[in-house]
Structures are given as structure tokens and as C-alpha cells.
Amino acid sequence: MKHGDQFTCASCGRTAFAKLEKILDGWEVKGEHLVCPFCGAEAGLPDAAPDAPDAAKASAARKALDDLFGGPSNTEPRPSILDGAEAEERRFCRDCAHSIVNVFAVVCTRRHCEVQPMDDCPDFEKRPEPKKSSGSPLDFGNQ
């Protein structure tokens, strides 16, 4: 019998589907057995899976996927979000000198409307870098 097979429980007499439970010793799994989901009586050991994947099936499946998606010959590196090279080319409204950012919205002062921070803008001007602070608690950035 295997997990999900229908059987009649010898203990409670109900017709049920076999439930697979793990046998634990503390946090370590020692084995598995089948139980009745109604009364918890043991129903036996699960059968071994007859269609266990082997190396030949796995390599054939991998080859089929490679053929479908262009294969491993396509080894050119893909651009990554973490590279940072593409971030310089973007013209996001959040980085524009014409945007005012607050907690509730990003407002474009050039077009006088609310915009999304990740929108691209044809009127983009890079926001100037903030001035360096001296680190003093009395310095409010007025240098």
C-alpha cells in the first residue's frame, strides 16, 4: 500500500485513505509508516516508489530542456540588477531634480502632477548630490 490508497481500517472499520506519518526520534526522522487518518491506527509500511528517477532519465530530461531553451551553448552573461551599470542609464523620477518626494507621493514640479518613483521622464535632470555634512549635530547641511 502507498500514501493515498483507499483501505478499510482494521481498528475502527471505516473506509479511509492511507496517511503517511514520519517516525521521529527527537528531531531526527527514523522512518515512515501509514496510518488511518480517523483513529491513528497503523496500516503498514509504504511501498517503495517503482519509478525512482535515475541518472539516465535526469540527463535525458536536462538535454530536452537544453534543446528547448537554446541549450548550454548560450553562455553569454546576462545583465544583473546588482551590476549597477544599467542604473546609470535609467532616468527615474525619484532621481530627478524636478521631483518632490514625501511620505505620500512623488510630485513633479515641471509637469505639476503626481508621478510614480520608477517612471521614466523625457524631461529628466539629474538631482545634484547633497553637500557633505561635517558630522556635527549643529550642522544642518548649510556649508
| pLDDT one-digit tens code per residue, 102-135 | 888 889 999 889 998 888 888 888 888 877 777 7
Q: What is the pTM of this model?
A: 0.35
Q: How confident is the model at residue 51 (pLDDT cuts 50, 70, 90)?
A: low
Does residue 51 fall inside a structural domain?
no
Which segments of 1-143 are extended strands (E)? 6-8, 15-17, 19-25, 28-35, 42-44, 99-101, 106-108, 113-115
Residues 6 or more apart whose CB falls under 8 angstroms from that of 115 comprise 93, 99, 106, 107, 108, 121
CATH code of residue 123: 2.20.70
Q: Is residue 108 part of a domain?
A: yes
The mean pLDDT value for 79-108 works out to 76
Could you tell me the residue range of the domain that residue 123 belongs to?
89-127
Structurally, how many domains does the chain consist of?
A: 2
